[in-house]
């Protein structure tokens, strides 16, 4: 999370994608992720990664 926090200091609108083998609930108990961060749970394949990135970039573009 430290790297993400520093990146957000440079650009607060920067999209964040985290990957983890832990559940969202476990991560929330440990301090959580930024509210707008995307969590992709491991294991995942290349297609899932690409689809996830595309979905969230398209959603951001639609908001702009």
pLDDT in tens, 3-42: 988 998 999 888 899 999 999 899 999 989 988 899 999 9
Contact 17, 40 (CB under 8 A): yes
Which tokens is 11 given? 């650009």
Which residue in the block uniquely carries the two structure tokens 């959603």? 59
By CB neighbour count within 10 A (0-12 exposed, 13-18 middle, 19+ buried), where does 13 fall?
exposed
Q: What pTM was computed for the model?
A: 0.78
Contact 41, 21 (CB under 8 A): yes
**C-beta atoms surrounding 49 within 10 Å:** 13
């Amino acid at each position: 999370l430290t790297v993400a926090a520093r990146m957000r200091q440079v650009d607060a609108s920067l999209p964040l994608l985290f990957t983890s083998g832990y559940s969202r609930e476990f991560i929330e108990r440990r301090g959580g992720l930024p509210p707008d961060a995307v969590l992709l749970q491991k294991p995942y394949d290349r297609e899932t990664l690409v689809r996830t990135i595309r979905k969230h970039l398209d959603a951001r573009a639609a908001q702009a």
